[in-house]
Amino acid sequence: MHEETHPLDDPATDPFEVAQTAAADIARLTGVAQHDIALTLGSGWGKAAELIGETTATLDATEVTGFSKPALAGHVGSIRSILTPDGKRVLVIGARTHYYEGHGVRRVVHSVRTAAATGAKIMVLTNGAGGIKTSWTPGQPVLISDHINLTADSPLEGATFIDLTDLYSSRLRELARTVDPTLDDGVYCQFRGPHYETPAEVQMAKTIGGHIVGMSTALEAIAARQAGMEILGFSLITNLAAGIQTTPLSHQEVLEAGREAEPVISDLLARVIGVL
């Protein structure tokens, strides 16, 4: 496919201005001037939006400045505006750009910066990931308590020193646990991917304090903090990480675990959004 020039690829472009333009596109196309909460749907979470409330507008991601089509099956490609029963406006982003696509970190965090520019104060980041804790089973959702960014990259440019303490808000995790007190949590390690980790890398992640391995979220969380948003992170454990489970990993397995878990995690996510 012919790759058109992308507004974020010129280093002279201000990524926050592009996000402002994208937010204006969303306001115009949805008819909703301000959103309260933004939600990024990772693999397995695709249907989770449906129970949150009434979808008042669905946009193709390509209609919004700076967004691209998702690279992969299992990712949705749409942006929706949802009205919850208690009157909150939720921006549901089904179009995540992954770091492994190689388009640079500005494109990865554009959705988060756009969400902030639409007015969202809370960023809910979800993903499908591998689990390191042997007490976990595929299909189980867990809260992200912190992260280890193994991409050696950052969405921050220049001398922008930002505190990342309590990045995954303990206040929001407590609220989530009012809905499901059994929710476990763990430290998310973002690897670059797109290959899955080697068993040795999983052991390294475990040794340095990680419990969840995946290919998204950490860079987005940093950008969300920079934008002043409060962050809630959920991982759907689609498989035990390489070497923890004895069978080889496959994208098919990840998708299937997501499909099977869908009804349960959709219900969970909708109820959690309801208490935020």
Nearer to ligand HPA, 18 or 150 (CB): 150
Tell me how far, at minimum, the Cβ of 44 lies from ligand HPA, in Å.
8
- 47, burial (CB in 10 Å: exposed 0-12, middle 13-18, buried 19+): middle
Catalytic-residue membership of 197: yes
Q: Of the listed 17, 197, 201, 220, which one is catalytic? A: 197
User: Binding of ligand HPA at residue 249 (CB under 6 A)?
Assistant: yes
User: Binding of ligand HPA at residue 197 (CB under 6 A)?
Assistant: yes
Annotated binding site for phosphate: 43, 75, 96-98, 128, 216
Q: Taking CB positions, which residue lies at the least distance from ligand HPA? A: 130
Give the range of 139-147, 219-227, 235-243, 265-273 binding ligand HPA by CB under 6 A: 235-243
Tell me how far, at minimum, the Cβ of 154 lies from ligand HPA, in Å.
20
User: Binding of ligand HPA at residue 189 (CB under 6 A)?
Assistant: no
Tell me how far, at minimum, the Cβ of 171 lies from ligand HPA, in Å.
27
Give the range of 78-86, 141-149, 203-211, 212-220 binding ligand HPA by CB under 6 A: 212-220
Tell me how far, at minimum, the Cβ of 212 lies from ligand HPA, in Å.
9
3-state secondary structure the chain: CCCCCCCCCCCCCCHHHHHHHHHHHHHHHHCCCCCCEEEECCCCCCCHHHHCCEEEEEEEHHHCCCCCCCCCCCCCCEEEEEECCCCCEEEEECCCCCHHHCCCHHHHHHHHHHHHHCCCCEEEEEEEEEECCCCCCCCEEEEEEEEEECCCCCCCCCCCCCCCCCCECHHHHHHHHHHCCCCCEEEEEECCCCCCCCHHHHHHHHHCCCCEEECCCHHHHHHHHHCCCEEEEEEEEEEECECCECCCCCHHHHHHHHHHHHHHHHHHHHHHHHHC
User: Binding of ligand HPA at residue 210 (CB under 6 A)?
Assistant: no
Residue choice 46, 53, 70, 130 for contact with ligand HPA (CB under 6 A): 130
User: Binding of ligand HPA at residue 238 (CB under 6 A)?
Assistant: yes
Question: Site residues (CB under 6 A) for ligand HPA?
Answer: 128-130, 196-197, 213-215, 238-239, 241, 249, 254
Catalytic residues: 197
